[in-house]
Amino acid sequence: MLIDKGYTKVRPLAGGLDGWLDAGYPADVIA
Amino acid sequence: MAEDEGRPLVAAQELHGRGDVLLQIGRHQQAILLRVRPSRRRARQLGRLRIAAVMLIGPPPSAQQIERTVDGDAMKPRAEVRAFLEMAELLVRAEESLLHHVVGIMFISSHAIGHSKHRFGMTLDQLPERIGIAGSGPAYHGEVGRHLHRRNLRLDGRGLVSQYHSPVHSLVHYVLVYGVSLIFINVLLEQLGAPVPAVPALIVAGALSRDGKMSSTNILLAAIAASLIADYMWFLLGRRYGYRILRTLCRISLSPDSCVRDTEARFERWGLKSLLIAKFIPGFSTVAPPLAGASGRSTLAFVAYDGIGALIWAGAAVAAGRAFHRAIDRVLAALENLGGWALVVIGCLLAVLIAVKWAQRIHFLKQLRLARIEPHELKAMFDRGEVPVVVDVRTPGARKHNPRAIPNAILVHMDDVATQLGDVAPHTEVVLYCT
């Protein structure tokens, strides 16, 4: 959808949020 | 002749016919007694049989009746070993006649070509041999069409006649004998995620049930039970491992694009009601149960909705089979005419289907792998001071399950992502993430 809208640099995060958290990187808590 | 006038004559003929049968027993007995020297015990046994026969027959037969029974073929009395076998055979025949004519539960082959062996009388290792025999050539001469047609599988009044001359017939035979178990295993494997489509089997079973060869109720019960077992297993895994189980599912799924694209959003939108139609949507049927578990839905509600959904799904397939049973008959007949090649054709079609799906999967994953960004790369961008637009496209349920997010991420719904990023310049780096 984004690419159709003209966005050229769209990339999914490998592993999603779980991958980010598993790597030990910081995260915000959603209110 | 009036119908009432004919009745006494019919009754008399019936009685006369019974007398003939008993006379045949008497004739065999007399022949055996003449040809052997029976022991006392055997003589007693035969004597009892004779007394019983006499009690049933009444007065002794006339010379004319005996002549008609022996058909002018006088026997020469002499001692023979075979007579012992005949004596045993006589008792067996009497038993068969009782079962066949009176009780009506035993089929007796009377034509070597037209009547096959009793399937329950064959050992399991003999059954596969029929495939090879059937596949070795066409059926009898010009009778191919008649013998190969599935109509020959129709059960007779005693419910036991069957004829098989091709591998497809043998397959149908297996479906008839082990049908409910096969349906159960097929549905169970499909719902567990194996690339084994169950709908064709359900449609064929539905067509067979239309002809009274299978029970629709049993088919539906087997399909629902298998479906509930597999789905409940995924439900429990979803409850235990949360949304992580989806990643495993998508890894083994042949449709990863549909798996990751919008199944989660669809479930969020429709809730447990989505289970009612989940099995009609590719990719969704396997993902919906763990989603239900991961989102903390109650077990009772899940079983109720999933059971009704399985009933609708299997019922639709069986109903389609029943509605189009003539067309299915023709397809089966065409496959039967192919002989042994029918299995090759079916196997090739299945292999092509799986190969196409697999190729699509590899292509999709390759594209995804080339395009995606690793967590350490994103962290490095943050550390360098670059500010990519990070978009959290998880569903509200997933966010509720794990209320954390990557710093400065924009929380948007997947359907609205294009409009939500309206102010972002097109050349900006955009990183999307879900669970």
* Per-domain residue ranges of chain A: 1-25
Calculate how close chain A gets to B231, using CA atoms only, in Å. 24
B125–chain A Cβ distance below 8 A for any pair: no
Please report, rounded to a whole number, the percentage of residues in chain B having pLDDT higher than 90. Answer: 10
Calculate how close chain A gets to B241, using CA atoms only, in Å. 12
The amino acid present at B183, given as its one-letter code, is: I
The yes/no answer to whether this complex scores an ipTM above 0.90 is yes
Give the pLDDT score at B70: 55
Q: CB contacts < 8 Å between A and B, how many?
A: 104
CB spacing of A9 vs B402 below 8 angstroms: no
B289-313 pLDDT, tens digit each: 888 888 888 899 999 999 999 999 9
DSSP string across B387-408: --EEEE---HHHHHHS-EE-TT
Calculate how close chain A gets to B356, using CA atoms only, in Å. 25
Indicate the pTM of the whole model.
0.46
pLDDT (average), residues B16-21 = 50
Quickly tell me which residue has 């959808």 as its tokens. A1
List the single residue in A with minimal CA-CA distance to B417.
A2
HSE value, Cβ hemisphere, 13 Å, CA-based, for B307: 8
Burial B403-431 (b: 16+ CB within 10 A, else e): eebbeebeebebeebbeebeebeeeebbb
CB spacing of A30 vs B399 below 8 angstroms: yes
Extract the tokens encoding B283: 């990719």
Calculate how close chain B gets to A15, using CA atoms only, in Å. 8
B379–chain A Cβ distance below 8 A for any pair: yes
Quickly tell me which residue has 């990751």 as its tokens. B260
Give the pLDDT score at B41: 61
Contacts of B368 in chain A (CB under 8 A): 12
CB spacing of A9 vs B399 below 8 angstroms: no
Give the pLDDT score at B1: 46
Is residue B371 pLDDT above 70, yes or no?
A: no
Nearest neighbour of B430 by CB, restricted to A9, A21, A25: A9
More confident residue, B170 or B253: B170
The amino acid present at B367, given as its one-letter code, is: Q
Give the pLDDT score at B184: 93
Best mutation target among B379, B382, B406, B410 (most A Cβ atoms within 10 Å) is B406
B368–chain A Cβ distance below 8 A for any pair: yes
Candidate from B135-139, B201-205, B345-349 with smallest mean pLDDT:
B135-139
Nearest neighbour of B372 by CB, restricted to A5, A12, A26: A12
CB spacing of B435 vs A17 below 8 angstroms: yes
**Highest mean pLDDT of the ranges B67-76, B103-112, B324-333, B372-381:** B372-381
Nearest neighbour of A11 by CB, restricted to B247, B373, B406: B373
User: Which of B248-252's residues contact partners 24+ apart within 8 Å by CB, and which partners?
Assistant: B249/B193, B249/B286, B249/B287, B249/B290, B250/B287, B252/B193
What interhelical angle do B167-192 and B199-210 show, nearest 10?
A: 130
HSE value, Cβ hemisphere, 13 Å, CA-based, for B284: 23
CA angle, B190 as apex, B189 and B195 as ends, to 5°?
100
CB spacing of B432 vs A28 below 8 angstroms: no
Is residue B319 pLDDT above 70, yes or no?
A: yes
Is residue B115 pLDDT above 70, yes or no?
A: no
Phi, psi (deg, nearest 5) at residue B404: -130, 160
More confident residue, B68 or B378: B378
Give the pLDDT score at B419: 76
List Cα–Cα distances, B245 to A26, B237, B240, B377, in angstroms.
Answer: 23, 7, 9, 25
Cβ atoms of B133 and B117 within 8 Å: the answer is no
How big is chain B by its Cα radius of gyration, in Å? 35
CB spacing of A13 vs B403 below 8 angstroms: no
Is residue B135 pLDDT above 80, yes or no?
A: no
B257–chain A Cβ distance below 8 A for any pair: no
Give the pLDDT score at B30: 57
**Highest mean pLDDT of the ranges B29-33, B93-97, B219-223:** B219-223
Give the pLDDT score at B228: 94
Give the pLDDT score at B331: 79
Instruction: List all residues 6 or more positions away from A26 whose beta carbon is below 8 Å from its beta carbon.
Output: B407
Among candidate residues B177, B136, B134, B127, the one with its CA nearest the CA of residue B153: B177
- Computed over every residue of chain B, the mean pLDDT equals 69
Q: How confident is the model at residue B146 (pLDDT cuts 50, 70, 90)?
A: very low
Give the pLDDT score at B394: 83
CB spacing of A11 vs B376 below 8 angstroms: no
B353-370 pLDDT, tens digit each: 778 877 776 776 666 555
Best mutation target among A2, A3, A4, A13 (most B Cβ atoms within 10 Å) is A13
Extract the tokens encoding B173: 């035979």
Best mutation target among B248, B377, B378 (most A Cβ atoms within 10 Å) is B378
More confident residue, B254 or B72: B72
3-state secondary structure of A26: coil
More confident residue, B72 or B234: B234
Distance CA B215, CA B209 (A): 6
Contacts of A27 in chain B (CB under 8 A): 404-407
Nearest neighbour of B417 by CB, restricted to A2, A9, A28: A2
Is residue B109 pLDDT above 70, yes or no?
A: no
Among candidate residues B282, B222, B269, the one with its CA nearest the CA of residue B395: B269
CB spacing of A27 vs B407 below 8 angstroms: yes
Give the pLDDT score at B311: 95
B432–chain A Cβ distance below 8 A for any pair: yes
| Beta partners for residue A12, in sequence order | B432
Is residue B269 pLDDT above 60, yes or no?
A: yes
Give the pLDDT score at B127: 47
- Computed over every residue of chain A, the mean pLDDT equals 81
3-state secondary structure of B254: coil
